[in-house]
Amino acid sequence: MSRLAPRVLSLLLLLGLWLAAPAARALDIQQVTSPGGIRAWLVEDHTNPILTLRFSFRGGESADPIGKEGRARLVAGLLDEGAGELDSTAFQKTLTDQSITLRFNSRIDRFSGQMVTLTETREEALRLLRLALTEPRFDAEPVERIRAQILASLRRDLTQPRTKASRAWWAANFPDHPYGRSGDGTLASVAAVTVEDLRAFVVGGLTRDGLVVSAVGDIDADTLGRALDRTFGALPAVGSLEMTADVAPALAGETLVIEAEVPQSVVVFGHGGIDRADPDWYAASLLNEVMAGGFGSRLTTEIREKRGLVYGVYAYLLPLDHAPLTMGGLATENARVGLSVDLVRQEWRRMAEEGPTADELADARTFLLGSFPLQLTGSGGVANVLMALQENDLPASYLEQRRALYEAITLDDAKRVAKRLYRADALSIVVVGQPEGVVATRPTPALDGIAQGG
Amino acid sequence: MSRLPRPMSTLSSALVILVLFGMAVSGARAAIFEPVSFTLDNGLQVVVIENHRVPVVSHMLWYKVGAADDPIGKSGIAHFLEHLMFKGTTTRAAGEFSAIINRVGGQENAFTSYDYTGYYQNVAREHLGRMMALEADRMANLSIVAKDVDAERDVVLEERRSRVDNDPSSQLSEQVEAATYLAYPYRIPVIGWETEIRGLTHADALAFYATWYAPNNAVLVVAGDVTAEEVRRLAEDTYGLIPARPVPDRAALRGGEPPHRAARRIEMTSPRAGQPSWSRRWLAPGRNWGDATHAEPMEVLAEILGGGATSRLYRHLVVEKGLAVSAGAWYSPSGLGPQTFGVYASPRPGVEIATLEAAIEAEVRAILHDGVTEEEVASAVIRLRRGAIFARDDSLAPARMFGGALAAGGSIEDVEEWPDRIATVTADRVAAAAAVVFVPAHTTTGVLIPEPSS
C-alpha cells in the first residue's frame, strides 16, 4: 500500500503532507467561539447548500476497560440507533428521509463523528446530532443487533492474515498497555460489554474539555456559534475517562511467526518513532517519503520494481498520543518472505548509515509541499485538515509556517534524524503464513480471541 | 484492479468499481456540472468540467477497452498492460513519468475494469500541459524491456494472491461471476486466471496496446481549475498529433449472452471463512444492454429493497426478524454488457442459510406480487436526486463520473439527464422492471460456509 494507504490510515499522518503557500492562503480559517464558550474552526463556502461538520473527543478505544475491548466501537455504532424520543427505526428514518449523513467512529486515542447535511435540513441534522450525543437510548434491540454485526465482522476479520499479523504485533509490543489490546475487541470482550459500560463512556468521554469541532460549507460564523451551543452545550464540562500512560514497544529485533494455510504471507514490522511535537518530526516526515513514498521510493524500488516481490510495501510514521511508532508491512509469496524481510532491514540500515541523497531529500520536500492543495478539493478534505491541526494543538498559522519548517531541514539534519529513526536491529517483525527464510525468535503467541486455524 | 494497492473490499474489485460508478453516476446533473465536450480531428473525445474551488485539476485518460476484451487464453492482459504502461517510452525511462508527478506533488494511479482502462494524475493546474504531453507520449510510444515485464508479472501474481487467493470471499466471488455468465466475457476475472497470467508475454502486451490504445478509442476528461479553451489547445498540441487508426468493434468481438434456462448455485466451504454469507444475482438490462427503459426503475428498486438501514431487506431481515447481521441490494446500469441485480445477506449465529434464503425469496415474491408503493418510490427518488447536489462538493469527482460513463459505452446525456429520468420512475414501472428481471432461471446464487478445521 505504497503511497495511498498511509495517507488513509490516520488523520495524523496528513500533517506530513501540507504546504503553506498559495492554497493555504486560500484556506481562510475562522476561529469561532460560541456565546457559551464552545470553540470551532470554520471555512465558509457558500458555493453549494451543504454543511460538513466534524468533531472529536479525547479518549477512544485505549480507554476501553480490560475485558471490555470494543466498547468505544459499540458506542460508535449505536449513537445513531435511537436517541431522545426517537427509537432506532424513527431515528434512522429521519436521517434517510432528510438525506442526512451522521456517523461516529472510534479511534485509538479519540472518538470522532461527522455530519453532512443540505442547508434545508440543517436544523433537523443538528437536533439529531445533539440527541445522539446527549440522549442515546441504547435500547435492547439495536444493542444486540449492532453487537451481532460487530461479532460477525470480528469472525470474518480474525481469519484474515493481515488482522492476525497486526494484532500479534500490537499484543507482543504492548503486553501491559491498552495499545496491546485491539479496539475492535474479541468475541468474548464484545459480548461482555453492557449498556452501563456504554453509558459510562458517553458520560465520561463525550465531554466539552476534550472536544474539537470543524465546520466547512454553507454557514456563517454567527449561525455556527449559536448552533454549537445548541448541539454541544449540554455535554458535561469535564471528562472522567481514565487516560493511559506513555509507553514504548516491548520487543526489539524479535521475529514472530504465526502459521496459517495461505499462499501469501503477510508481514507487519515496526519499532519506536518520533513524536509529532518533536522538532525532528519534519525531518522524519521527509525521510519516510524517501523510504516509502510510493513509486521511486526506496522500498518500492528495491522490493517491488526491481524484484517483483510484492504488490505493495509500505511504511509510515504513527505518532500516537502515548507512543510514537514507525510501522510498515508487505505481503509476498511464502517462498520469498525471507528475501523481502532482509531487503527491508537492508534499506533501514542503509538509510541509517548514509541518510538520503540531496536529490531524494529535495524531491521529498517538493512532494510534501506541492501535494497539499489536493487535500482541499472537497469539504471532507478541508475538514480533515482542520481536524488534524486542532487535534495536534497546532495553530491555524501553521499552514503559513509549514513551508519554512520543511525548507529549514538540511541534509545533515536528515542524516542525523535517519540514524535516530531507522534502527534495523530494533525492528520487530510478525509473519502470518507459511514463510520460508525467516526464523522465529520467540514462540508463537497465543492470540486472545483468534480461533487458530479456523 | 489498480496499479497501486488500495484498501481491499469484501466484494470483488470489479464489482466494487461497478457499484461505485453506479453511485457516482447517480450524482450528476447537467445543469450542475455543465460539461463542455468536443472531439479532436483524430477522434479523441474530450470532456471538460470546470470547477475553480482549488487551483488543481484531475487529468484522466480512459481507453474504451477493458478486461472483457482480453483475447481467449490471455486473461489479465488488459490489467497487465495497465501496469506496464508505467515502464517507459521511446524517450522516457521506466518510472520517469511517476518521478515527474512526484516532484510536482501530484497523485496518480491507474485502474482496469471490464469495460475500460483509465490513467489519471491530480496536479496543480500549472502542470496540466506537462501531464498531457506525457500521457500522450505513452499512448503512442510505449517501449518496455523484458526484465521489467518479468518483474511486473510477479507483482501482478502477488496482487492476485492479496486480492483473491488469500481471501475466501473473493475466491467465492470469482467462482460466482464465472457462473453468472455463460458466454459473455464478464465471466473471466479482471486480474486474470493465475495460469494464464503466468503465460502473458511482452508480445501479448504490445499486441493488445497496438490494437486498442488509439486516440479514437479514448476519452480525455479534465476536471477542475481550467477552461475548455485551454484544454482544447493543450490537447491539440499533444494528443492531437497522434493519428487515428482502425480499432476493432469490441461489442461484436465480445458476443452475446445465450438464454439462461437453469438457475445456478455455487457453494464454497472454507476453514478461512469466519462468517457465512449468501448472495443472489439476476441477469439484468442496463443503459447499454437490453431494454434500457428498465435501468432507472431498477435503480429505484435497489434503493427500496436494499439501500441502507431503512430498506425493506435491512428492516425486515436484520431489525424485525433478527435473521441477519447485514442485508442489502445492488444494481448498476452503466456497463457495456449484460448487468446484474443482486441481493446479499449474512446470517446471525444459529440461523440456517436456508431460512435466510427463504426470507429473502419471500421479499422478492412480495415485490413481484404486490409491487412497491408510490410513497416508497417518491422517497427513493428524492434521496437519489439529492445525491446530485452532494456530488457537486468535490471539484475533481465529476471526472470519474463522466469518464466511467463514456468509456463504458454511455453518453454525456446518460449522466446529465439522469436526475430527470429518475424523476419519471413510477411504482408501475418498478413492477414492470421487477417482472422482467426476477426470473428464477436467470439467477446465480453464491454461498460461503465456514468450515471448522481440525
- Tens digit of each residue's pLDDT (9 = 90 or more) over B204-253: 999 999 999 999 999 999 999 999 999 999 999 999 999 999 999 999 99
At position B385, the amino acid (one-letter code) is R
A152: nearest CB among B106, B325, B394: B325
Q: Please judge whether A23 and B55 are an interchain contact, meaning their C-beta atoms are less than 8 angstroms apart.
A: yes
The verdict on a CB contact (< 8 Å) between B155 and A308 is: yes
Q: Look at residue B42 in the predicted model and tell me its pLDDT.
A: 98
Q: How confident is the model at residue A1 (pLDDT cuts 50, 70, 90)?
A: very low
Look up residue B146 and give its three cell numbers. Answer: 523484458
CB contact under 8 A, A310 and B383: no
pLDDT at A381 over 70: yes
**Mean pLDDT for the stretch of residues A29-33:** 97
Q: Classify strands A110-118 and A264-272 as parallel, antiparallel or unpaired.
A: unpaired
Which of A412-426, B10-24, B200-214 has the least mean pLDDT?
Answer: B10-24
Answer whether B124 sits within 8 Å of A370, measured CB to CB.
yes
**Which three cell numbers mark B179?**
457462473
Rg (CA), chain B: 22
Which residues on chain A are in Cβ contact (under 8 Å) with B104? 366, 370
pLDDT value at residue B2: 67
The C-alpha of A453 sits at a distance from chain B's nearest C-alpha, in angstroms, of 6
Is the predicted pLDDT of residue A10 greater than 90, yes or no?
no
pLDDT value of residue B12: 31
Task: Please tell me the distance from the alpha carbon of residue A141 to that of residue A192, in angstroms, as a whole number.
Answer: 16
Residue B107 and residue A96: Cβ atoms within 8 Å? no
Chain A residue nearest residue B275, CA to CA? A156
For residue B106, what pLDDT band results from cuts at 50, 70 and 90?
Answer: very high
pLDDT of residue B194: 98
How would you class B339 by CB atoms within 10 Å of its CB: exposed for 0-12, middle for 13-18, buried for 19 or more?
buried
Record: contact B53-A377, CB cut-off 8 A: yes
Question: How would residue A7 be classed by pLDDT, with cut points 50, 70 and 90?
Answer: very low
Of B141, B157, B149, the C-alpha closest to B209 is B141
Count of residues for chain B? 454
Question: Which residues, other chains included, contact A452 with Cβ-Cβ below 8 Å and sequence gap of 6+?
Answer: none
- Express each pLDDT in A308-363 by its tens digit: 999 999 999 999 999 999 999 999 999 999 999 999 999 999 999 999 999 999 99
Instruction: Check pLDDT > 90 for residue A391.
Output: yes
What are the backbone angles phi and psi of residue B251, rounded to the nearest 5°? -60, -40
Mutation for testing the A interface, residue in B34, B57, B272, B448 having most A CBs under 10 Å: B272
Is the model more confident about A39 or about B13?
A: A39
Q: pLDDT (tens digit, 9 = 90+) per residue, A83-131?
A: 999 999 999 999 999 999 999 999 999 999 999 999 999 999 999 999 9
| Residue B436 in this model has a pLDDT that exceeds 70 | yes
pLDDT band at B5; cut points 50, 70, 90: low
**A99/B150 touch (CB, cutoff 8 Å), yes or no:** no
In the predicted structure, residue A444 carries a pLDDT above the cut 90? no
Q: Note the pTM of the prediction, 2 decimals.
A: 0.92
Q: Is B82 one of the catalytic residues? A: yes
pLDDT band at B10 (very low <50, low <70, confident <90, very high): very low
Which CATH number, 2.60.60.20, 1.25.50.10, 3.40.50.1470, 3.30.830.10, labels domain A255-371+394-433? 3.30.830.10
Residues in B closer than 8 angstroms to A454, CB to CB, are: 271-272, 450-453
Sheet of B45-50, strands arranged across:
B36-39, B45-50, B218-224, B56-63, B117-124, B107-112
Please give the residue that has the higher pLDDT: either A23 or A139: A139
Mean pLDDT of chain A: 92
Q: Could you tell me the fold of the domain covering B13-254?
A: Cytochrome Bc1 Complex; Chain A, domain 1 (3.30.830)
* A448 pLDDT tier (thresholds 50, 70, 90): low
Comparing A11-232 with A255-371+394-433, is the CATH topology the same? Answer: yes
| DSSP single-letter state for residue A445 | P
Listed in sequence order, the DSSP H helices in B329-449 are 353-370, 374-391, 397-407, 412-416, 418-423, 427-437
Question: Domain extents for chain B?
Answer: 13-254, 264-400+408-450
A159 contacts in B (CB within 8 Å)? Answer: 168, 272-274, 450
Query: Mean per-residue pLDDT for A128-141?
Result: 98
Give B252-278 pLDDT, tens digit per residue. 999 999 999 999 999 999 999 999 999
Whether A382 shows a pLDDT value over 90: the answer reads yes
DSSP bridge partners of A104:
A113
Q: What is the average per-residue pLDDT within A365-390? A: 95
Q: Strand B117-124 relative to strand B107-112: parallel, antiparallel, unpaired? A: antiparallel
Closest CA to B343 of B331, B360, B329, B353: B329
pLDDT at A16: 36
Task: Tell whether domain B264-400+408-450 is in CATH 3.30.830.10.
Answer: yes
Q: State the best of A91, A93, A96 to mutate against chain B, taking most chain B CBs within 10 Å.
A: A96
Q: What average pLDDT score do residues A227-234 get?
A: 97
Maximum Cα interatomic distance, chain B, rounded to a whole number of Å:
67
pLDDT at A284 over 90: yes
Contact B226, B399 (CB under 8 A): no
Of B50, B82, B177, B416, which residue is the catalytic one? Answer: B82
Cβ atoms A65, A197 nearer than 8 A = yes
Q: What is the largest CA-CA distance in chain A?
A: 64
Q: Which architecture does CATH list for A11-232?
A: 2-Layer Sandwich (3.30)
Residue of B334, B71, B321 lying closest to B185 (CA atoms): B71
Q: Per-residue pLDDT for A2 more than 80?
A: no
CA of B31 vs chain A CAs: smallest distance (Å): 13
Q: Which cell goes with A208?
A: 466539552
Count other C-beta atoms under 10 Å from residue A337's C-beta. Answer: 26
User: Which residues does A123 contact at the CB level (< 8 Å), separation at least 6?
Assistant: none
State phi, psi for B327 to the nearest 5 degrees.
-165, 145
- Mean pLDDT of the region A231-258: 94
In this structure, of A13-27, B203-217, B379-393, the range with the lowest mean pLDDT score is: A13-27
If you count DSSP H runs as helices and E runs as strands, how many of each does chain A have, helices first? 18, 11
Report domain extents, chain A: 11-232, 255-371+394-433
* Chain A residues with CB-CB distance to B391 below 8 A: none
Tens digit of each residue's pLDDT (9 = 90 or more) over B24-68: 333 333 456 889 999 999 999 999 999 998 999 999 999 999 999
Residues in A closer than 8 angstroms to B105, CB to CB, are 19, 366-372, 374
| ipTM (interface predicted TM) | 0.90
Task: Please state the three-class secondary structure of A163-220 as a single string.
Answer: HHHHHHHHHHHCCCCHHHCCCCCCHHHHHHCCHHHHHHHHHHHCCHHHCEEEEEECCC
Same CATH topology for B13-254 and B264-400+408-450? yes
- How far is B213 from B231, CA to CA, in rounded Å? 21
